[in-house]
Amino acid sequence: MDTDIKSMTLEELKTEMERQGEKSFRAGQLYDWMHNKLAASYEEMTNIPLSLRKKLEDQYPYVSLKPVEIQESRLDGTRKFLFALSDGNMVESVWMKYKHGNSVCISSQVGCKMGCRFCASTLDGWERNLLPSEMLDQIYAITRLTGERVSHVVVMGTGEPMDNFDNLLTFIHILTEEHGLHISQRNITVSTCGIVPKMKELAEKGLSITLALSLHATTDEKRRKLMPVAETYHMDELMDACAYYFEKTGRRITFEYSLVAGVNDTPGDAMQLSALAGPLNCHVNLIPVNPIKERTYRQSGQAEILAFKNKLEKNKINVTVRREMGRDIDGACGQLRRRHIYEEKSR
Ligand code: SF4
């Protein structure tokens, strides 16, 4: 691919402009248009001479995502965006409004290889990794479309972020550094299904982001039934990686735990989960699983969810139940994109 200008750090952009024989302050202007003013095209960059804009246009394709469909929940205002990428692929992102600010959940890959059984994003396999610019522009495009500032970002949509590690790090760098949107690292959450070596590598990067581990089961046997990744990385290695992350960063890990009726929601599961989360000082986020029609998993009942939460609290575990946002729209991650692909095929 041609050089992706929106994925360059400010330093890289300075070098690139110098290489082009341009004054180095042009790099600052360009960077400001891309990552602070969130320009959707070179055309908007009015303080950059027309001749340079033309040259950039010819040499550097400009990533700017276009919405294909936007759904808005009538229940809570959550908006789901389906964006088209330049190669015809599509990705989903979700915008949620909370008291503490606006949060965007982005995708990190087109499709996913991980095969988690409760997830619609993986049903058609993996297509490709997203570029840093394509991750950034999900946030930028949503800011342009809503006219509201984004304060929190979660990398929890389609894809396994640790499987696109280098691009993830560049994305975090550009999103959080002072010349761009300057979002606090503390307001960024990255989720993983548990790629142990990458969790350890991330721990060594000196970041203060939150790591969320999709745990969903407390024994290897149960976890293997839900998540094929558990065949490769076992529970003891996973817990070691969590301890290492906490030790290195001082950041408390979140355990994401989807409650599936009759599979992982018994009092015994709650006890085992307490035993895992307690020593690591983890926060537990219980997720009433979002049913997808291709699988038979059912959501645990309200009574079971409450009993599960109470049991954890009794064991002094810090626990929340994730509020279900946008229940009336294609809620589960990957569903909107899938529907579109199949509608297009049937046309
Ligand atoms: S839950 Fe995440 S890691 Fe698992 S298949 Fe879905 S997108 Fe991939």
The reply to whether ligand 1 has any atom less than 6 angstroms from the CB of 91 is no
Strand partners, 91: 83
The three-state secondary structure class of 242 is: helix
> Catalytic one among 92, 127, 134, 160?
92
The reply to whether ligand 1 has any atom less than 6 angstroms from the CB of 27 is no
Smallest CA-to-CA distance from 182 within 156, 212, 151 is with 151
pLDDT in tens, the chain (347 residues): 578 999 999 999 999 999 999 998 999 999 999 999 999 999 999 999 999 999 999 999 999 999 999 999 998 889 999 999 999 999 999 999 988 899 999 999 999 999 998 888 888 899 999 999 999 999 999 999 999 999 999 999 999 999 999 999 999 999 999 999 999 999 999 999 999 999 999 999 999 999 999 999 999 999 999 999 999 999 999 999 999 999 999 999 999 999 988 889 999 999 999 999 999 999 999 988 777 666 777 888 889 999 999 999 999 999 999 877 777 776 566 777 777 777 766 76
Smallest CA-to-CA distance from 192 within 241, 260, 151, 123 is with 241
At residue 342, the pLDDT reads 72
21 Cα: distance to centroid of ligand 1 (angstroms): 44
The three-state secondary structure class of 320 is: strand
Cα-based angle 90, 116, 306 (whole degrees, multiple of 5): 110
DSSP codes joined into one string, 151-220 = -EEEE-SSS-GGGGHHHHHHHHHHHHSTTTT---GGGEEEEES--HHHHHHHHTT---PEEEEE---SSH
Q: Which one-letter DSSP state was computed for residue 44?
A: G
> Does the annotation count 237 as an active-site position?
no
Residues 6+ apart with CB under 8 A from 315: 271, 274, 278
Q: What is the 3-state secondary structure (H, E, C) of 90-103?
A: EEEEEEEEECCEEE
Measuring from atom 3 of ligand 1, which residue has the nearest CA?
160
At residue 331, the pLDDT reads 57
> Does the annotation count 333 as an active-site position?
yes
The three-state secondary structure class of 259 is: strand
Rounded Cα–Cα distance for residues 245 and 60 (Å): 38
Whether residue 325 contacts residue 76, with contact meaning beta carbons closer than 8 Å, is answered with: yes
Smallest CA-to-CA distance from 135 within 159, 158, 108, 165 is with 108
The reply to whether ligand 1 has any atom less than 6 angstroms from the CB of 258 is no
Ligand 1 atom nearest residue 109's Cα: 7
> Catalytic one among 112, 119, 242, 333?
333
191 Cα: distance to centroid of ligand 1 (angstroms): 9
DSSP codes joined into one string, 116-153 = -TT-GGGTT-EEEEPPHHHHHHHHHHHHHHH-S---EE
Which two three-digit tokens encode residue 280? 């690591």
Rounded Cα–Cα distance for residues 133 and 11 (Å): 16
The reply to whether ligand 1 has any atom less than 6 angstroms from the CB of 22 is no
Whether residue 264 contacts residue 219, with contact meaning beta carbons closer than 8 Å, is answered with: no
The reply to whether ligand 1 has any atom less than 6 angstroms from the CB of 158 is yes
92 Cα: distance to centroid of ligand 1 (angstroms): 13
Cα separation values, 230 from 83, 206, 236, 329, Å: 31, 27, 11, 31
178 Cα: distance to centroid of ligand 1 (angstroms): 31
295 Cα: distance to centroid of ligand 1 (angstroms): 14
